[in-house]
Chains A and B, each alone.
Chain A
Amino acid sequence: GENVEQHPSTLSVQEGDSAVIKCTYSDSASNYFPWYKQELGKGSQLIIDIRSNVGEKKDQRIAVTLNKTAKHFSLHITETQPEDSAVYFCAASKPGGYNKLIFGAGTRLAVHP
């Protein structure tokens, strides 16, 4: 069935370093890949997304890359700050209006000052 694997489960970096979180998906029909940030006690906030017709997308310190052949996509955060500390979830969905999201298990990122 549909599945999204996410690694690592925890990631600890020093402020200013880069952080990379990787996901793989099983369903080759998936064409939309969002990343969500979940802070303690809050809902999930979309931080960046990418569609299958694009290989890379960047928004300030955050970038996402997609390799459709390998069914991999990755989140890159540069110049990390303590406020980047949160749980990050990747997800994938297939075409169609219903757009059910299949989530990865999450990565707990800790940025130490």
Chain B
Amino acid sequence: EPEVTQTPSHQVTQMGQEVILRCVPISNHLYFYWYRQILGQKVEFLVSFYNNEISEKSEIFDDQFSVERPDGSNFTLKIRSTKLEDSAMYFCASSDGKGEAFFGQGTRLTVV
């Protein structure tokens, strides 16, 4: 069964450092998403991406965040200068646009 894969599974970084979270969506999907889940809280939408551009972003997705599809297969989330409050599980998802979104297993980001 096709699946969304994310790397790394766990990333520890110093406050102020840049991190890049990587995702390989399902190959024939055209819509890509990043979600975040702070420990003990609900999953929150960050950004959607279609046709090589951001289609929607939440207020969480400020100038410190960026997304890219550098090579037609990977979909990355970059946090430019991490803050302690960026510590969370980050989930990538992809969809064919008909409704069902497939989620990756997540990257646990710990900012120290």
Contact = CB atoms under 8 A, between A and B. Distances in A.
B45 A104 contact: no
Q: How large is the interface on B (under 10, 10 to 19, 20 to 34, 35 or more residues)?
A: 20 to 34
Contacts of B55: 98
Interface in B42-85: 42-45, 48, 50, 55-56
A43 B106 contact: yes
Contacts of A97: 30-31, 50, 95, 97
Given A43-B91, A98-B31, A105 B41 contact: yes
Contacts of B35: 101, 103
Q: How large is the interface on A (under 10, 10 to 19, 20 to 34, 35 or more residues)?
A: 20 to 34
Contacts of A46: 100-103
Contacts of A28: none
B99 A36 contact: no
A51 B98 CA distance: 11
Interface of A: 32, 34, 36, 42-46, 49, 51, 89, 91, 93, 97-106
Of all A-B residue pairs in the complex, the 9 with the closest CB atoms, nearest first, are A43-B105, A97-B97, A103-B43, A105-B42, A32-B99, A44-B103, A43-B106, A98-B48, A43-B103
